[in-house]
A and B are shown apart, each in its own frame.
Chain A
Amino acid sequence: MADAKPRVKVPKTAAKGEVITLKTLISHQMESGQRKDKEGKTIPRQIINKFTCEYNGQPVFSCDLDPAVSANPYLEFTAKVEESGTFKFTWVDDDGSIYTAENELKVE
């Protein structure tokens, strides 16, 4: 699905050692594989099955998603930051596509 658009909300600055909240959302239909179309055929499953978040290359949080996660999967989690750097967010689609987003954070 080419139109999957990731959106992330990360504060621009943080204090050293502060625990910040990160919010992410990606537009994706998360087709569960349970629904049927008008002809009664099952619509094949296509979901985001994996999400990861890294900070300066270090893993922060990851999530394995199943079809029971809503369309446009939303995830909120925290990160403890000690130094300035870049968050890298990755979403993996069932069809092998990978969507990424990056966000800089300044630690004062």
Chain B
Amino acid sequence: MTLTRRDALGLAAGTVAFLTFGGKLAFAAAEETAAAISAFTGGKEPATGKITLDAPEIAENGNTVPVGVTVESPMTADDHVVSVMILAEGNPNPQVATFNFTLMSGTAEAKTRIRLAKTQNVVAIAKMSDGSTYIDKKEVKVTIGGCGG
């Protein structure tokens, strides 16, 4: 097969279109994640520390990835964790789950199993009773995606 000039041009245009489209999708997801974070924190930049996100480094099956969060807190009336939001940057929708704690929770610890479409960062953000927010991030490598494409 010989490649004529017209074919080559068409191919090049197609590649450019594909790259732009693909790039835009990834960008939209990152922006959506940032939007979800700022909606949760009220526009403030979350600090690091206090919250620990526990997720496997490699998840063979993206359909069930065990994740856990632990937030250091005395869980008293003046100082407790209100909620923790979990986000997956590379999923079609970044929202995964939001845990709401009360004083009767005793600790701010929770575990669940989530779906991950591909290798990506999982983000956990904690909101404290005084309004401060803390963030932790972890990259999870996914062998088989869990969105049933």
Contact = CB atoms under 8 A, between A and B. Distances in A.
A19 B107 contact: yes
A35 B148 contact: yes
A80 B104 contact: yes
Contact of A70 (B95, B103, B114, B149): B114
Contacts of B73: none
Contacts of B64: 70-71
Interface residues on A, range: 20 to 34
B63 interface: yes
B115 A32 contact: yes
B95 to A, nearest CB: 4
A26 B104 CA distance: 23
B93 A80 contact: no
Interface in B79-131: 88, 91-93, 95-107, 109-116
Interface of A: 19-20, 32, 34-35, 55, 58-71, 73-80
Given A61-B99, A62-B100, A78 B105 contact: yes
A68 B114 contact: yes
6 contacts: A60-B104, A61-B102, A61-B110, A62-B99, A68-B97, A69-B96
